[in-house]
């Protein structure tokens, strides 16, 4: 690092990307684990954003392995319903990016959108997440879950040392503006951590080995891309590799990343894609 501090440890960064992102990440991690690279078991730090917070919380719990987590993606989840980011909401996102000078301004705009929506669906969404998580207690392994303050637009990095419990942290990280209402915790309202960044890979700064698994690689305007964040980590001296969906995975995702029917095809696509990344991940992780 520029200040002379030695890098150490291994970090797994899991980005956002809806239900298809959950499935694809689980497939990629299962495929790598079968090749002898069990990132979820070996990481000193797991950073989870939105979909990645769901995957990361389960893996960091130590109660499930990558293969079993993958197999769960092939099953129906009770209470999981199809949602969609409508054209009007997507237009608000695009307009917000164009009008925002920085990520915090954009976050506050998206927070205003979320706060203005009727508070329906919050309990059902939370119940689905409660069922999905194997434990509602923060794990001993370092897990960081990202969310954005709906009023200020400032990112929060929740962990076991804070005052937000794990279920609320994951629900907040998955509270997509325009789809689900903000989550209230620690006296604040929180929205999806992916509003700040699809990966928030900068939180892995200081780690020597970083693998970023990013269902959404793009950024735009004040929102940094996964590639740019990975490049900054590498410039600081870390060994970094970035895995993004290949063409087959993008086809499996379809047009709606929040469609539960697409989760299993995305998981299978991730499992198939993993083989292409074994060598590069091994070079970073080992």
Active site residues per annotation? 50, 192
Backbone angles phi, psi at 125, to 5 degrees: -60, -45
Angle between helices 263-274 and 18-34 (to 10 degrees): 30
Beta-bridge mates of residue 142: 45
- Please list, in sequence order, all residues whose beta carbon lies within 8 angstroms of the beta carbon of residue 45, skipping any fewer than 6 positions away: 9, 10, 11, 12, 142, 143, 144, 204, 207
* CA–CA dist 169, 175 (Å, integer): 10
Whether 139 and 43 have beta carbons less than 8 Å apart is answered as no
Whether 190 and 175 have beta carbons less than 8 Å apart is answered as yes
Whether 114 and 175 have beta carbons less than 8 Å apart is answered as yes
| Residues constituting the chain | 286
| Nearest alpha-carbon partner for 145 in 129, 153, 156 | 156
Q: Which tokens hold the place of 94?
A: 């695009």
Whether 274 and 31 have beta carbons less than 8 Å apart is answered as yes
């Amino acid at each position: 690092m520029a200040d002379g501090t030695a890098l150490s440890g291994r970090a797994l960064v899991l980005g956002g990307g809806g239900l298809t992102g959950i499935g694809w990440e689980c497939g990629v991690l299962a495929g790598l684990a079968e090749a002898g690279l069990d990132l979820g078991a070996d990481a000193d730090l797991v950073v989870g954003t939105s979909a990645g917070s769901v995957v990361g919380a389960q893996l960091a719990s130590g109660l499930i392995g990558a293969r079993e987590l993958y197999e769960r993606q092939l099953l129906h989840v009770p209470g999981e319903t199809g949602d969609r980011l409508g054209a009007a909401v997507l237009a608000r996102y695009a307009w917000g990016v164009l009008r925002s000078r920085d990520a915090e301004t954009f976050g506050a705009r998206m927070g205003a959108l979320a706060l203005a929506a009727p508070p329906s669906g919050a309990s059902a969404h939370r119940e689905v997440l409660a069922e999905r998580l194997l434990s509602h207690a923060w794990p001993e392994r370092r897990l960081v879950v990202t969310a954005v303050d709906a009023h200020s637009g400032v990112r929060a990095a929740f962990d076991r040392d804070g005052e937000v419990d794990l279920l609320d942290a994951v629900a907040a990280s998955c509270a997509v503006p325009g789809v689900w209402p903000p989550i209230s915790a620690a006296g604040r309202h929180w929205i999806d951590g992916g509003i700040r960044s699809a990966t928030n890979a900068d939180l892995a700064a200081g780690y020597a080995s970083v693998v970023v698994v990013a269902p959404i690689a793009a950024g735009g305007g004040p929102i940094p891309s996964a590639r740019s964040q990975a490049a900054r980590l590498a410039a600081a001296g870390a060994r970094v590799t970035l895995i993004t969906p290949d063409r087959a995975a993008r086809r499996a995702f379809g047009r709606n990343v929040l469609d539960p029917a697409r989760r299993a095809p995305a998981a299978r696509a991730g499992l198939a894609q993993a083989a292409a990344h074994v060598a590069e991940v091994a070079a970073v992780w080992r």
